[in-house]
Amino acid sequence: MLFSPLEIEQTLRMFAEQNLDVRTITLGINLLDCIDSDARKAAGRVYEKITRVAANLVRTRDRIQAELGVPIINKRISVTPVAMLVGASQNGQSRESSSVPLIFAEALDRAARETGVDFLGGFSALVHHGITPAEESTIRALPTVLATTEFVCGSLNVASSRVGINMDAVNMAAAAIRETADRTRDRGGFGCSRLVIFANAPEDNPFMAGAFHGPGNPDTVVHVGVSGPGVVQSAIRRMPDAPLEQLAEEIKKTSFQITRLGQLVLDKASALLGVVPGIVDLSLAPTPAVGDSVARILEEMGLESIGVPGSTAALALLNNAVKKGGLMASSRVGGLSGSFLPVSEDEGMAAAVERGDLTLEKLEAMTAICSVGLDMIALPGDTPVDTLAGIIADEMAIGVMNHKTTAVRVIPVPGKNAGEWVEFGGLLGRAPIMPVHRGSCSAFVRRGGIIPAPVTSFRN
């Protein structure tokens, strides 16, 4: 036999008992060749190109899944940041009331439905340097787009380590989150789950809601994102008394195996779709299912709960070991590639918040190490816009000063207070609403302007 019974048993357990799967195949599509001064013509081309290029995406996912016997959960599309297309069609329309972004959003939503994907990301604007009229129109359209479309996801890059934090963009992002929550109040502010505010956004991220096809990419490209927190947790459970460097070693090996699986799926998807291979994102993406939690990995290491002292150190060990193992498994590691710490999408995170063991402030400290920042966090419905801007600015500062990606995906749940639960359903899960510090940062954030880049960014 080519493989030992132990190897085969280990693999079977990973899939059957430890929730191992490939989280997503994401097809990136450049839409810059669709531009036209007439927005409707351009939107028609957008629909045509996406439905043509992604025609076989779902079928390809099904075929790989059947051939390999490996579950592949999501199939997604990421596109060129829409603000770039809006710019070509704006024709002097007012930036406050332009209909152009909505025309594109409608075409994107229809294309997503036609191709059968789960999400389409890229209703985005890169505004860390400043905001063009087309980008302003796009940001202003976000609440309507997120309230009226089913599949479209949006993101804004408001900060980078090269240029600093654009506080005008941060304030606009906070206002967009607030309005999106109000526009989707019947679903607990659900629309905010499809909007991510970034510092140092990666151009090749396969995970939603922050995926977009950055301008540095080829015309089409396919990316893969893995999962597997349950596998890492099981590996650690087998070593209750081991010193920490041995845990790190075991996590590295496990991450290597998981990422190799992602690389295998990427190679097959690339060949079948006839699209150049992009990256494998080695992030351990959790789900609300029991046994698929990043929080529980840290607790398996010996913390009574995620959020207690030691949590940041444990996360550092995990994140570092996951990267070292994954980097050896694939030459094309990219995207976010770290640990995800979403509250509603991770059963262990939500439980820790409910017990009062995990606060927003401790979570923010932990995001200095994880790869996505404050993710899927439900906040009180009456959280002021300026406080949202302050929360975003803090998270952007962590990313900018540490030369890493950070992001904010928060949901101020209309009509609900701290401690109450909100249900989003499916992979988005459920979460208790976290209390927010009541002190005001209004006078600070309303100054606007740019928080300059760190001295470490001047490397030329």
Q: Is residue 51 within the footprint of another protein (CB under 8 A)?
A: no
Cβ proximity to another protein, 68 vs 248, nearer residue: 68
Cβ proximity to another protein, 1 vs 455, nearer residue: 1
Cβ proximity to another protein, 226 vs 398, nearer residue: 226
As measured in angstroms, the least distance from the Cβ of 361 to another protein is: 39
Cβ proximity to another protein, 20 vs 431, nearer residue: 20
Q: Is residue 7 within the footprint of another protein (CB under 8 A)?
A: yes
Question: Backbone phi, then psi, for 376, in 5-degree steps?
Answer: 50, 55
| Strand stretches in 297-420, DSSP E | 374-380, 406-413
Q: How many CB atoms lie within 10 A of CB 460?
A: 3
CA distance 158 to 175: 14
Cβ proximity to another protein, 4 vs 97, nearer residue: 4
As measured in angstroms, the least distance from the Cβ of 377 to another protein is: 34
Taking alpha carbons only, the member of 366, 258, 264, 246 closest to residue 306 is 366
Both tokens assigned to 240? 């209750």
Q: Is residue 16 within the footprint of another protein (CB under 8 A)?
A: yes
Q: Is residue 243 within the footprint of another protein (CB under 8 A)?
A: no
As measured in angstroms, the least distance from the Cβ of 337 to another protein is: 18
Q: Is residue 264 within the footprint of another protein (CB under 8 A)?
A: yes
- Is 211:122 a contact under the CB 8 Å cutoff? yes
Q: Is residue 443 within the footprint of another protein (CB under 8 A)?
A: no
Q: Is residue 257 within the footprint of another protein (CB under 8 A)?
A: yes
Cβ proximity to another protein, 68 vs 163, nearer residue: 68
Residues 6+ apart with CB under 8 A from 104: 39, 42, 43, 46, 82, 85, 86, 123
Q: Which residue among 8, 271, 276, 290 contacts another protein (CB under 8 A)?
A: 8
Q: Is residue 2 within the footprint of another protein (CB under 8 A)?
A: yes
Q: Which residue among 18, 124, 263, 283 contacts another protein (CB under 8 A)?
A: 263
Q: Is residue 455 within the footprint of another protein (CB under 8 A)?
A: no
Q: Is residue 12 within the footprint of another protein (CB under 8 A)?
A: yes
As measured in angstroms, the least distance from the Cβ of 319 to another protein is: 21
- Is 150:184 a contact under the CB 8 Å cutoff? no
Taking alpha carbons only, the member of 143, 144, 179, 138 closest to residue 157 is 138
Within residues 53-92, the interface with another protein by CB under 8 A covers: 66-70
Taking alpha carbons only, the member of 66, 78, 80 closest to residue 24 is 78
CA distance 373 to 339: 10
Count of positions on this chain that bind another protein (CB under 8 A): 21
CA distance 81 to 202: 12
Both tokens assigned to 94? 């007012």
Q: Is residue 331 within the footprint of another protein (CB under 8 A)?
A: no
Q: Is residue 382 within the footprint of another protein (CB under 8 A)?
A: no
As measured in angstroms, the least distance from the Cβ of 268 to another protein is: 8
As measured in angstroms, the least distance from the Cβ of 9 to another protein is: 6
As measured in angstroms, the least distance from the Cβ of 262 to another protein is: 9
As measured in angstroms, the least distance from the Cβ of 313 to another protein is: 29
Both tokens assigned to 422? 């909100």
Residues 6+ apart with CB under 8 A from 159: 128, 165, 166, 169, 170, 198, 199, 200, 396, 397, 399, 400, 451
3-state secondary structure of 423: strand
x/- track of binding to another protein for residues 199-238 (CB under 8 A): ----------------------------------------
Q: How many residues does the chain have?
A: 460
Q: Is residue 1 within the footprint of another protein (CB under 8 A)?
A: yes
Q: Which residue among 5, 243, 309, 426 contacts another protein (CB under 8 A)?
A: 5
Q: Residue 333: how many CA atoms within 13 Å on its side-chain side?
A: 21
Q: Which residue among 125, 127, 173, 261 contacts another protein (CB under 8 A)?
A: 261
Q: Is 443 exposed, middle or buried (0-12, 13-18, 19+ CB in 10 A)?
A: exposed
Cβ proximity to another protein, 262 vs 338, nearer residue: 262
CA distance 447 to 426: 40
- Tell me which residues touch another protein (CB under 8 A): 1-3, 5, 7-9, 11-12, 15-16, 66-70, 257, 260-261, 263-264
